[in-house]
Chain A
Amino acid sequence: MEVKLWQAVQAILNGILTGALYSLIGMGMALIFGVMRIVNFAHGAFMMLGMYATWMLFERLHVNPYFGFLAAAAMLFVLGYATYQGLLRRIADRSDFMQILLTLGISLILTNGVQLIFGADYHQINFGLLDINVRLNSHVSLNLPWLLAFGITLVLGVGMFLVVMKSRLGRALRAIAQNRYAASLMGIDVMRIQALSFGMGLAAVGVAGGLLLPVFYLYPGAGDQFTLKAFVIVVLGGMGSIGGAAIAGVVLGIIENLTSLYWGNEWALVVDFIVFLLVLSLRPSGLFGSQRV
């Protein structure tokens, strides 16, 4: 019996570690959705770019991915800012449908562009750090790369939350989320702030990509599945709530791990989407309150 208990503990801890990365991906999307009302269907593709950036740094310049992710984040921030100014801005007042088409289009261009440049081969990185496991007792152990990713995510997640809740920029973000017309009347440069928040949202997913690289693998389609996951997290967390997305990501990680442990891995995605549908139909404002951003 005790062994079984430890198993559950192990699964929950693993779920928290995996979930933290989901949170970061989801928070990026939640920020973008909150401020712009755009569901960024290119989210996973941008994450894949972050992974490639981290990978290139590691392969060419031998930069450890646990530093390299910072460069990936910076690159994605700039890219996000430019993408907003060049493309998204033009359709800001158009229908949701246009926005879906545009972000989906960006996603396809990124995925296939990367494939043209780097080829379809998958890549993996290996270095000594990946082999270290932290044993808590004879039944529970945690893999160091996942722990590191969790620690970094925690710091950055809290930082992002504080920026949004406490800083001047954050106040402007929230004002736009509540009512962009009123915000612009109050002297907020809506376009600039939206461009910044798109950059920040992508930087978050770039960090997630950089942190995922050492424990996952890389190919041009590697990010695709995470777009959907991020969307589920944004909905669970309450359409645009960053704190909500953070919690929802961890909850999703734990649900997946426990489902895998008790029912089998093939049910993990099924349960994900059952939870998603239940929340959508019973509590459309999300699991965690209705406050936006």
Chain B
Amino acid sequence: MARVIRPSWLSRGVLFALLVGVACKADSKQAANTFRIGVVTSLTGSQAAFGQAHKNGYTVAIGELNAKGGVLGKQIELVYYDDQSKPDQAVQGVAKLVDQDHVPIILGAFSSENSRAMIPAVTAKKVPLIMPTATADNVMETGSPWVFRICAGSGGYASATIDFLKNNGAPKTMAIVYENTNFGQANAKSMKELAPAAGIEIIDDEAYQSNSPDYKALLQRVKAKEPEVVYFASYLLDATTLMRQSEQVGLNPKFVTSAGTGFAVAEFPTDKGAGKYAEYTLSVAQWVPSAKWAGSSEFDAAFTKLTGAHPAYHAMEAYAALLVAAEAINLGKSDQSAAIADALRKVKLDTPFGPVQFDAKGQNPHPLLVTQVQDAKYKVVWPADVAETKPVPTPAWADRK
């Protein structure tokens, strides 16, 4: 008899699932008076802080855009998919957003790794993807006509750093310390390609496993090679551990440089990050609140009102990505993916992140800034024409108060 019961439970389950499905469908029909844009970002997992920055950036942008009437006469609605900081989930996000939510355009993801993983999926589904923050250059090397990138890439990070070094003491030797991920490897690769031409020899090349409590042996190894420059590619958590432990092992390069990211977030120079160990570190930034582009300080104010803290450039990039998406939708006068992609190629928009115009490959040629932490604040020190102040030489740990 028990056998008879089981299929009946099963059928009830199926019925329930169907009902839920129908309810969801009804929901999505109700929402037809809004214009849906898909967002994939890391709301949970190890990169959740950056995902949250994205979300806050989008929130500021959508408030402004909807106040101005949204797009094509509809209010914009963002449909978020949390990729849990995992590439496979980012790919699932594309399927879910396109097949179930029917969004014509997607923004995301946060990390290079996740963004790279999404590209085959958006290409197959013929949906344009705007990448706000993926700096690894391999995200632009797939040849896909559906990808657009707002931020400057790892090649830009390396060349901005080298340009700064050439004009500020021209050091001869460098160690690269990077996390063993797409982001870290891409930045290390760009530096290895570009440094020799500037007369900088790479004397040490250290990949590391991220999220470890102990990097002292790694830093000892770097110290033994005595590089004049150390170039870090790390997320915040590791950036803090690396700087604290640099002091512990007495690693004293003349320049501590970095590929932004962990060394360029608002918390890093504060007590919530490396604090005083962040002092004198150089970083490449896509944007700072004091940037000269019109709207920067307004964004800073709106973001600070929303979150209680100043924005780092990741939030600005998300903000700019949504402005650009809205511009393209209005320009193409269509809710179809192909028309939006065509319009993206024609977009010319001045944003607080700087002018945005995609080249033939979908890359926005965004200029980078070199910043230095001085008195717990990021100060633009290069290029000279936009610098806020002069770079300060890095004293040895033992000579600091």
Give min CB distance, A28 to chain B, whole Å. Answer: 17
Expressed in whole angstroms, the Cα–Cα distance for A50 and B250 within the complex equals 31
Asked whether B240 lies within 8 Å of A124 as measured between CB atoms, the reply is: yes
Specify which chain B residues have a CB less than 8 angstroms from the CB of A101 in the assembled complex: none
Expressed in whole angstroms, the Cα–Cα distance for A256 and B224 within the complex equals 18
User: Given A10-B220, A143-B248, do A123 and B208 touch, yes or no (CB 8 Å)?
Assistant: no
Asked whether B217 lies within 8 Å of A258 as measured between CB atoms, the reply is: yes
User: CB-nearest residue of chain A relative to B208?
Assistant: A265
Asked whether A120 lies within 8 Å of B206 as measured between CB atoms, the reply is: no
Asked whether B220 lies within 8 Å of A115 as measured between CB atoms, the reply is: no
Give min CB distance, B252 to chain A, whole Å. Answer: 13
Expressed in whole angstroms, the Cα–Cα distance for A98 and B268 within the complex equals 43
A212 within 8 A of B: yes
Give min CB distance, A145 to chain B, whole Å. Answer: 10
Q: Which of B237, B247, B273, B275 has the most chain A CB atoms inside 10 A of its CB? A: B237
A219 within 8 A of B: yes
Specify which chain A residues have a CB less than 8 angstroms from the CB of B52 in the assembled complex: 119-121
Expressed in whole angstroms, the Cα–Cα distance for A217 and B44 within the complex equals 16
Asked whether B211 lies within 8 Å of A225 as measured between CB atoms, the reply is: yes
User: Given A225-B211, A257-B214, A265-B217, do A123 and B272 touch, yes or no (CB 8 Å)?
Assistant: yes
User: Is the interface on chain A under 10, 10 to 19, 20 to 34, or 35 or more residues?
Assistant: 35 or more
A141 within 8 A of B: yes
User: Given A121-B52, A122-B49, A133-B248, do A264 and B218 touch, yes or no (CB 8 Å)?
Assistant: yes
- Select A7's contact among B45, B224, B241, B271, beta carbons within 8 Å: B224
B46 within 8 A of A: yes
Expressed in whole angstroms, the Cα–Cα distance for A265 and B240 within the complex equals 17
B59 within 8 A of A: no
A221 within 8 A of B: yes
B207 within 8 A of A: yes
User: CB-nearest residue of chain A relative to B237?
Assistant: A217
Expressed in whole angstroms, the Cα–Cα distance for A14 and B236 within the complex equals 23
A11 within 8 A of B: yes
User: Given A216-B241, A265-B206, A269-B209, do A260 and B45 touch, yes or no (CB 8 Å)?
Assistant: no
A215 within 8 A of B: yes
B residues 237-267 touching A (CB-CB < 8 Å): 237, 240-241, 244-245, 247-250
B interface footprint on A107-145 (CB within 8 Å = 1, 0 otherwise): 000001001000111111010001101000000010100
Specify which chain B residues have a CB less than 8 angstroms from the CB of A7 in the assembled complex: 220, 224
B215 within 8 A of A: yes
Give min CB distance, A250 to chain B, whole Å. Answer: 13
User: CB-nearest residue of chain A relative to B215?
Assistant: A265
Asked whether B48 lies within 8 Å of A219 as measured between CB atoms, the reply is: yes
User: Is the interface on chain B under 10, 10 to 19, 20 to 34, or 35 or more residues?
Assistant: 35 or more
B residues 199-236 touching A (CB-CB < 8 Å): 206-209, 211-218, 220-221, 224, 236
Specify which chain A residues have a CB less than 8 angstroms from the CB of B221 in the assembled complex: 260-261, 264
Specify which chain A residues have a CB less than 8 angstroms from the CB of B215 in the assembled complex: 260, 265
Expressed in whole angstroms, the Cα–Cα distance for A112 and B84 within the complex equals 11
User: CB-nearest residue of chain A relative to B50?
Assistant: A120
Asked whether B272 lies within 8 Å of A265 as measured between CB atoms, the reply is: no
Expressed in whole angstroms, the Cα–Cα distance for A96 and B236 within the complex equals 39
Expressed in whole angstroms, the Cα–Cα distance for A269 and B250 within the complex equals 25
Asked whether B220 lies within 8 Å of A11 as measured between CB atoms, the reply is: yes
Specify which chain B residues have a CB less than 8 angstroms from the CB of A143 in the assembled complex: 245, 248
User: Given A18-B214, A265-B215, do A126 and B275 touch, yes or no (CB 8 Å)?
Assistant: yes
A266 within 8 A of B: yes
- Select A212's contact among B45, B209, B213, B244, beta carbons within 8 Å: B213
Expressed in whole angstroms, the Cα–Cα distance for A64 and B220 within the complex equals 30
Specify which chain B residues have a CB less than 8 angstroms from the CB of A266 in the assembled complex: 180, 206-209
B residues 11-62 touching A (CB-CB < 8 Å): 43-46, 48-49, 51-52
Q: Which of A126, A216, A219 has the most chain B CB atoms inside 10 A of its CB? A: A126
Expressed in whole angstroms, the Cα–Cα distance for A240 and B249 within the complex equals 36
Specify which chain A residues have a CB less than 8 angstroms from the CB of B44 in the assembled complex: 112, 115, 120, 220
Give min CB distance, A266 to chain B, whole Å. Answer: 4
A191 within 8 A of B: no
Specify which chain B residues have a CB less than 8 angstroms from the CB of A256 in the assembled complex: 214, 217
B interface footprint on A243-270 (CB within 8 Å = 1, 0 otherwise): 0000000000000111111001110110
Specify which chain A residues have a CB less than 8 angstroms from the CB of B272 in the assembled complex: 123-124
Give min CB distance, A85 to chain B, whole Å. Answer: 31
Asked whether A14 lies within 8 Å of B209 as measured between CB atoms, the reply is: no
Give min CB distance, A229 to chain B, whole Å. Answer: 10
Asked whether B213 lies within 8 Å of A216 as measured between CB atoms, the reply is: yes
Give min CB distance, B246 to chain A, whole Å. Answer: 12
Asked whether B46 lies within 8 Å of A219 as measured between CB atoms, the reply is: yes
Asked whether A121 lies within 8 Å of B241 as measured between CB atoms, the reply is: no
User: CB-nearest residue of chain A relative to B275?
Assistant: A126
Expressed in whole angstroms, the Cα–Cα distance for A256 and B207 within the complex equals 15
Give min CB distance, B292 to chain A, whole Å. Answer: 31
- Select A261's contact among B217, B240, B247, beta carbons within 8 Å: B217
Specify which chain B residues have a CB less than 8 angstroms from the CB of A120 in the assembled complex: 43-45, 48-49, 51-52
- Select A221's contact among B46, B51, B218, beta carbons within 8 Å: B46
- What 9 pairs across the A-B complex have the smallest Cβ distances? A120-B48, A260-B217, A265-B208, A265-B218, A266-B207, A261-B217, A216-B213, A257-B217, A126-B271
Task: Return 25 A-B CB contacts under 8 Å, by A number.
Answer: A3-B224, A7-B224, A119-B48, A120-B43, A121-B48, A121-B52, A122-B236, A124-B240, A126-B275, A216-B213, A216-B241, A217-B241, A219-B48, A221-B46, A257-B214, A259-B217, A261-B221, A265-B206, A265-B209, A266-B180, A266-B208, A266-B209, A268-B209, A268-B212, A269-B209
Chain A residues with CB under 8 Å of chain B are 3-4, 7, 10-11, 14-15, 18, 112, 115, 119-124, 126, 130-131, 133, 141, 143, 212, 215-217, 219-221, 225, 256-261, 264-266, 268-269
Chain B residues with CB under 8 Å of chain A are 43-46, 48-49, 51-52, 180, 206-209, 211-218, 220-221, 224, 236-237, 240-241, 244-245, 247-250, 271-273, 275
Contacts A121-B52, A261-B217, A265-B217 supplied; 18 other A-B pairs, CB < 8 Å: A7-B220, A10-B249, A15-B217, A18-B214, A115-B44, A120-B44, A120-B48, A122-B236, A124-B273, A126-B271, A126-B275, A143-B248, A216-B213, A219-B48, A260-B215, A260-B221, A261-B218, A266-B207
